[in-house]
Structure 1
Amino acid sequence: MNHWLETLRWYADMGVDEAVADRAWNRFAEPEVRPSPANQGRPLLAAASRPSPPASPSTPPSATTSPVPPPRDARPAQMDALQPALAAELAAIETLDGLRDRLERFDGCALKTTATNTVFGEGPAHARLMIIGEAPGEEEDRQGRPFVGPSGQLLDRMLAAIGLERGEVYIANTLYWRPPGNRTPTPAEVQACLPFLRRQIAIIRPQALLMVGGAAAKTMLERKEGIMRLRGRWTE
């Protein structure tokens, strides 16, 4: 028992706060993947940077082990087919409260099942400036509010430096739920939330949008350049 408690404490100290699967899965016991003849001479992508140790001869692969299925929102083709109908439905919503209620009933993004709270956004309903970040972090997920962690404290100071208070701007993210472990959002997760964000912008009708970070900028501007090329630019 002490061994398991010590292991759990070590996981907590290392920042492990999410379960990858419902049960333990020894990936090292899987059969080795052989490249096809067409790929001979080219390294496998996973092996190019970090080769996996070989499986122990005394531990045969388990016949009952199955791979973890992909998240439900990791089906871009399916989401693309559903988005026009969803966008049409959202276009009939005229208030932020109505949009929030519809988002709470939305199950097209698997991040919702692992998050503690939905982080919808906050600020005046018709703010002149709307700030859009990437995704909620640990503190945002706990409180259900955007930009309340260290990055939020920095944002408050930056707003104060230009004569604005937090209560004067509307703050949201490209995602409404925290990715497990604060990992980078997948394109499918971003696309799943995008119809809601676009309608949120249409309801607020801000005079200016401020994208904070490369992911938010590339999502809203539909650009592929990095943040160093996009930062500081105005776009009509």
Structure 2
Amino acid sequence: MTSDTLAHFSAAELAALLAFNADAGVEWLLEESPLDRFVAPRAQAREAGMPAAQGLAQTGPQTGGAARAGEGRAASQRGQKAAPVASAPAGPVTIPDEQAVAEARRLAAGAATPEALLEVMRGFAGCNLKNSARSTLFAEGEPGRALMIVGPIPLADDDRDGRPFSGRTGAMLDRMLAGIGLTREAVTLTTAIAWRPPGNRMPTPREADICRPFIERQIALYRPQKLLLLGNFTARLFFNSNETIHDLRGRWQAMTFDGHAVAALATHHPQDMAATPEKKKQVWADLLALKAGPV
């Protein structure tokens, strides 16, 4: 898309286009302006007196170290000293899943305070979700508050603001809490997964295993009396179940985190109510159960 094309968009349309790309996980532009990468090979082919297609065939497939290695071999055949081949910049290191899970458990168990846990999470390199996320989401609230609310993943607004339950979803949660006389300042908010997956997809089972020690340690350190789990993914993760949120919601379950006992209740995510308004009745029943407490 060129600047001439963009000139026909209104400000609102441009904002919507940027939001669409951000939700799709596009955060960086490779070039400030369009660049035809076929121009240089064609020009080189013309200077060498060869057909343009041959020039593209010779230069196109080789990139980075492969192209430089080819230049070195050609120089050697001509009796010239080959220039040293520079190594490509190192990218994020891929850690085997089992090793990443073990490292996450070790780091989480060694964090004695919320501040220490957040620090090790920011330095953790074992989850690929972190490579595309902007923020590391962490519990918002004071330790010791009676209720902790856990969502599944950071959404685009959360990732941008660095806070759980931001934007429209956060406003919906605020209205849910107001219905039973609570505000977000009276509870602790967090997400089961600390890093936003690309395109808001749900994490894979291995990604969930890697992230699990960090959310469980947050609960152990914040020591809530009750957990409200929002959405299908969160309920399945905590209850270790293959059942859906329709079967798991509305029933208190006793759980323990590093010796700290807590009662957990699951319900629909605020986004589910927006997509399916008839779920509001079920959520309201679950909120009344939450207010009443476990029986």
Q: TM exceeds 0.5?
A: yes
**Structure with more helix by fraction:** 2
Call closer, same or farther: CA 1:108–1:82 in 2, change over 3 Å.
closer
Q: 1:129 aligns with which of 141, 144, 147?
A: 147
Identity of aligned residues (%): 38
CA distance in 2, matches of 1:155, 1:11: 24
CA distance in 1, matches of 2:102, 2:140: 26
Is contact 1:126-1:206 (8 Å) kept?
Answer: yes
Is it true that 1:101 corresponds to 2:106 in the alignment?
Answer: no
The aligned counterpart of 2:205 is 187
Shift in Å, 1:84: 3.5
Call closer, same or farther: CA 1:110–1:89 in 2, change over 3 Å.
closer
Query: Structure 1: which 5+ residue stretches go unaligned?
Result: 24-61, 66-71
Q: 2:217 aligns with which of 182, 199, 211?
A: 199
Comparing 9-18 and 152-161, the one that deviates more? 9-18
CA distance in 2, matches of 1:92, 1:10: 44
The aligned counterpart of 1:112 is 130
1:27-79: CA deviations, max 9, x gaps? xxxxxxxxxxxxxxxxxxxxxxxxxxxxxxxxxxx9779xxxxxx8998xx32
The aligned counterpart of 2:257 is none
The aligned counterpart of 1:153 is 171
Comparing 191-200 and 82-91, the one that deviates more? 82-91
SS in 2 for 1:16: helix
* Runs ≥4 residues deviating over 6 A: 8-11, 62-65, 72-75
Comparing 178-187 and 192-201, the one that deviates more? 178-187
**RCO higher in structure (CA 8 A, sep ≥6):** 1
Rg: which structure is higher? Answer: 2
Call closer, same or farther: CA 1:156–1:82 in 2, change over 3 Å.
same
SS in 1 for 2:227: strand
Shift in Å, 1:209: 1.0
SS in 2 for 1:232: coil
Q: Superposition RMSD on alpha carbons, in Å? A: 3.2
- Give the total of aligned pairs: 192
TM-score norm. by structure 1 comes to 0.70
Where do residues 1-236 of structure 1 align in structure 2 (5 Å cutoff)?
1-2=2-3, 5=6, 12=17, 15-17=20-22, 18-19=25-26, 78-236=96-254
Shift in Å, 1:161: 1.3
CA distance in 2, matches of 1:203, 1:108: 22
TM-score norm. by structure 2 comes to 0.57
SS in 2 for 1:159: helix
1:63-100: CA deviations, max 9, x gaps? 779xxxxxx8998xx32344345323422322100100
CA distance in 1, matches of 2:183, 2:160: 23
